Amino acid sequence: MLVHPNFDPVAFSLGPLAVRWYGLMYLVAFAVAYLLVRLQVREKGIAVAKDDVLNLFFWAIVGLMVESNIEGGNQPIPEDRSKLKYGCSVTDPCVDWPTTDLMIHKACEALRNVLPNRLAP
């Protein structure tokens, strides 16, 4: 059985906003990944605009913020772990898979005519 550390998941609070440790780790991971991609682009002379790299990271961050699961919402971690609901978050509330699917299709439709125009010279 895994033993989980018992510590406060909130790193600090700014009024009603609670900043959690895992959120800070996402921030650090994205910052390091962004810097490494920029370094590779510069060192290898890859013809990629800085804005394109920023756009990639922006949409990756949006994807993580949407954070979908099989089941929507969240659940507390019970003493008896066998009572956990499969596919449901134990941290922040998430959207369910059908909602995620709908959001992806709506985004696809909304961007269908926008993206080709952005790539045009």
pLDDT per residue as tens digits for the range 74-116: 889 888 989 988 888 888 788 888 888 888 888 888 877 776 6
**57-84 mean pLDDT:** 82
CA–CA dist 104, 108 (Å, integer) = 6
Provide the β-strand partners of residue 119: none
Q: What is the pLDDT of residue 118?
A: 65
pLDDT per residue as tens digits for the range 30-52: 899 889 988 988 898 888 887 88
Query: Contact 87/70 with Cβ under 8 angstroms?
Result: yes
Q: Is 39 exposed, middle or buried (0-12, 13-18, 19+ CB in 10 A)?
A: exposed
- Amino acid in the structure at residue 44: K
pLDDT per residue as tens digits for the range 2-32: 676 777 888 999 999 888 888 888 889 889 9
Cα-only R_g, the chain: 19
**Whole-structure pTM over 0.75, yes or no?**
no
Contacts of 54 (CB under 8 A, 6+ apart): none
